[in-house]
Amino acid sequence: MNIQWDAEKYTNDFSFVHQYGSSLLDLIDGENLSVLDLGCGSGALTKELAERGYDAEGIDASAELLQAARTHYPELRFTQADAVSFQTGRQFDVVFSNAVFHWIDREKQADMIAHVFDALKPQGQFIFEFGGHGNNALIHGALARAFEARNLTYQMPFYFPTVGEYASLLEQGGFVVRTALLLDRPTRLNGGDGLCEWIRMFVKAPFEGIGPDLREEIIRSAAADLEGILCHNGSWYADYVRLRCKAVKPLV
């Protein structure tokens, strides 16, 4: 799924995305390694990888986000490419990815995994986190009810697999799975209108063909539905569930 990103808003108002990704970097085993940041967005974690001493570079499909990455971190190398078809001129010790794979359709995951496998050296580490089974289930449920109340059908646009399903895809792709966890991560959203802003930023495809007034009415209705559940003392929380994995490319 390709979406048009508002790079500045994404970088400033949704900085929790890369802040949470920071702890994922601790799963990297070894020093002075080459690391490919797959779906690097505006480059905050690519920069952190470089600060930790890794030879880091980033790939992303979005021209808007890459422009922000190049502006903020001109010393780093960023390339525009799609995660399901990217080619690298060299093999890396680590392929790292944060909050990206839920944007890739289920049918394209095997292609993406195959490209990661090719991009890694033998014994290379594939370390990633993205939305897992049940991610944002309350939000998508409320949106589905708001669509249905207006005789519309809500198509949840993301891929949120279970540990079993994803570990199996990794094994079919030749990887050995070392760690695979599904964890709840309720996440505080910025601002008093946090949930509506979150929906406007991330949930675009289901609203295609729907006019701006109706779109806004649906978003407000979903937020009103969830106020007693996801809003506490004036702050909104998104019901994030993460799938966090480390897999290794075997020596032979």
Task: State the residues that interact with ligand BEZ by CB under 6 A.
Answer: 99, 102, 131, 135, 158, 202, 240
Nearer to ligand BEZ among residue 114 and residue 180 (C-beta): 180
Nearer to ligand BEZ among residue 70 and residue 185 (C-beta): 185
Phi, psi of 153 (to 5 degrees): -110, 130
CB of 116 to ligand BEZ, least distance (A): 19
Nearer to ligand BEZ among residue 92 and residue 159 (C-beta): 159
CB of 192 to ligand BEZ, least distance (A): 20
Distance from C-alpha of 34 to C-alpha of 46, rounded to nearest angstrom: 11
Shortest Cβ contact with ligand BEZ: which residue? 131
Nearer to ligand BEZ among residue 33 and residue 99 (C-beta): 99
CB of 55 to ligand BEZ, least distance (A): 27
Q: Where are the beta strands (DSSP E) in the chain?
A: 34-38, 55-60, 77-80, 92-98, 120-131, 176-188, 231-232, 235-248
CB of 64 to ligand BEZ, least distance (A): 16
Q: Is 119 exposed, middle or buried (0-12, 13-18, 19+ CB in 10 A)?
A: buried
Instruction: Give how far the C-alpha of residue 159 lies from the chain's centroid of Cα atoms, to the nearest Å.
Output: 10
